[in-house]
Amino acid sequence: MKVVAQQVGDALVIRVDQDRIDAASAIQFKDQMRQLTQVGMPRVVLDLAQVAFIDSSGLGAIVAAMKGLGPAQKLELSGLTDTVKKVFRLTRMDTVFTIHHDFPVNLAEAG
Amino acid sequence: MTAHQSFRKQASHVIAHADPLAVRHGLASLFAQEPLACLSEDMRGTAEIVMAEVLNNIVEHAYAAQSGAIEVCIDLGEHGLECTITDSGAPMPGDDLPKGIPHALDQIDDLPEGGFGWFLIRSLAQDLQYSRFRDQNFLRFRLPAPVLVA
């Protein structure tokens, strides 16, 4: 599981450099998210543009990552591919997360 | 021969060992073969969500105590993809399929981190049937596929 974090403006952008977050990688993903988000940046943007597929374990790991953030931190998602979007929509998790259809414009400019 | 006709009588068959990495590789193999390889992106996504949840559930629950094999057969039939998944693990609790009831999502602190699997399967698969015969579990269902040309 390759996950890369980069500070862009007031946000920590975490890019998943892997094509799936599934039952075989969910625990590792959760651990890496916990470590990377400890820096306490108020805004965490998880860039899923490279992720073609997540299963329910992957979805659970993203939810766990959000719940593991500090009270002043917020997890946003960007770059959801079609199948990932479908999993969020069916489970109604798309109503829980702030989802950017593309990479957040203000961050792209800051970066 | 039309594109639709070329779908006819295609079947795939994969046997995977029951662990998460083997399931990932089994899925990759299934989706590289016909009939799944020929699906549109949308149908492929639907099929992969259902297949992944079914196989992960078998690894996590049916084979919780001991590992074993999972057999997947997919046929392109008249009404879509006819899927049969067989395992030799523990039976479904109550010999019935889980209801897959969606969770409430109103409290961030109480958001569920699991239990989405059967809800997703029931949302996307059709005609789900479960049976137990000679210490094996058989799960059958249909997935959407392009309509065949008569």
Residue of B56, B112, B119 lying closest to A55 (CB–CB): B56
In this complex, do A53 and B48 lie within 8 Å of one another by their Cβ atoms? yes
% of chain A beyond a pLDDT of 70: 92
Q: Is the pLDDT of residue A104 over 80?
A: no
Rounded to the nearest 10 degrees, how much is the dihedral formed by the CA atoms of A39, A1, B23, B60?
Answer: -20
Look up the domain containing A86 and give its range.
Answer: 3-110
Mean pLDDT of chain B: 89
pLDDT of residue B58: 97
Q: How far is B48 from chain A (nearest CA, A)?
A: 8
How many structural domains does chain A have?
A: 1
Give the C-alpha separation, B126 to B131, whole Å: 16
pLDDT of residue B107: 83
Higher pLDDT: B145 or A31? It is: A31
Query: Binning pLDDT at 50, 70 and 90, where does residue B7 land?
Result: very low
CATH number at A74 reads 3.30.750.24
For tokens 């479908």, the residue is A86
Give me the mean pLDDT over the B27-31 stretch. Answer: 94
Look up the domain containing B136 and give its range.
Answer: 11-143
In chain B, which residues have their Cβ closer than 8 Å to the Cβ of A59? Answer: 116
Q: B148 in a domain, yes or no?
A: no
Query: Binning pLDDT at 50, 70 and 90, where does residue B101 land?
Result: confident
Task: Tell me the three-class secondary structure of A80-110, residue by residue.
Answer: CCHHHHHHHHHCCHHHCCEEECCCCHHHHHH
Q: B6 in a domain, yes or no?
A: no
Give me the mean pLDDT over the B6-16 stretch. Answer: 67
Q: Is the pLDDT of residue B122 over 50?
A: yes
Q: B5 in a domain, yes or no?
A: no
Give me the mean pLDDT over the B24-30 stretch. Answer: 95
Give me the mean pLDDT over the B124-134 stretch. Answer: 97
Note which residues in 48-87 of chain B have CB less than 8 A from chain A. 48-49, 52-53, 56, 59-60
Residue of A22, A66, A86 lying closest to B45 (CB–CB): A86
Give me the mean pLDDT over the B74-80 stretch. Answer: 90
Structure ipTM: 0.91
CATH number at B77 reads 3.30.565.10
How many structural domains does chain B have?
A: 1
Q: B4 in a domain, yes or no?
A: no
A41-72 pLDDT, tens digit per residue, is 899 999 999 999 999 999 999 999 999 998 88
Q: What is the DSSP string of chain B?
A: --TTGGGTT-EEEEEEESSHHHHHHHHHHHHHSTTGGGS-HHHHHHHHHHHHHHHHHIIIIITSSS--EEEEEEEEETTEEEEEEEE-SPPPGGGS----PPPP-S-GGG--SS--HHHHHHHH-EEEEEEEETTEEEEEEEE--PPPP-
pLDDT of residue B150: 53
